[in-house]
Amino acid sequence: MNTQTQTPETINAAQLLNQFAHRRPGLDPRDYGGGREGWLSYRRESAEISRDLNDFRELYSLAWDILGDKLPELVAAYLMTSSGRLTLQDNKLQYITGQYFPTEYRPAASRCLVSLIWRKFAEQYETGDQIRKAIRRRVSRRVANNYFR
């Protein structure tokens, strides 16, 4: 039995982050103009948004693997102290859009996990190159290139 006192934020933070990343992007094809070029731009952006979700899923899985049951607590702590666009306030995720929400919210969720993964690997390795090399062995080339350069 877990005797540790946990706040609602601690219990739900990883789940909230997962739900946030899995929400529909709200992409509207009418925003891309008409004709062939507009449709192609919409499809390209839609495909990239889907790849961003796959990146998040990969990072979420790795975070659970290396952090285990501490993940919700660590996500909550990170988001409550973050000065980034994604924060946890009053048991809800708050996101401040930069330019276009559909293309940026999933990478924001991924960056939270990247920070936690980096910190965990930093406990075992001394230099940034060693950390990157160790993480790159555990993730796809796309995730490595996008988040662990």
pLDDT band at 33 (very low <50, low <70, confident <90, very high): confident
CA dist 93 and 76 (Å) reads 10
Query: How crowded is the C-beta side of 28, counted as CA atoms within 13 Å?
Result: 5
pLDDT at residue 52, rounded to an integer: 98
**If you average pLDDT over every residue of the chain, what do you get?**
91
CA dist 76 and 66 (Å) reads 17
pLDDT band at 10 (very low <50, low <70, confident <90, very high): very low
Domain ranges of the chain: 8-147
Q: Is the pLDDT of residue 7 over 80?
A: no
> Which phi and psi (to 5°) does residue 93 adopt?
-80, 135
pLDDT at residue 106, rounded to an integer: 98
Query: How crowded is the C-beta side of 97, counted as CA atoms within 13 Å?
Result: 6
Query: How crowded is the C-beta side of 40, counted as CA atoms within 13 Å?
Result: 3
Q: Is the pLDDT of residue 91 over 90?
A: no
pLDDT band at 9 (very low <50, low <70, confident <90, very high): very low
Q: Is the pLDDT of residue 84 over 90?
A: no
Average pLDDT over residues 57-61: 98
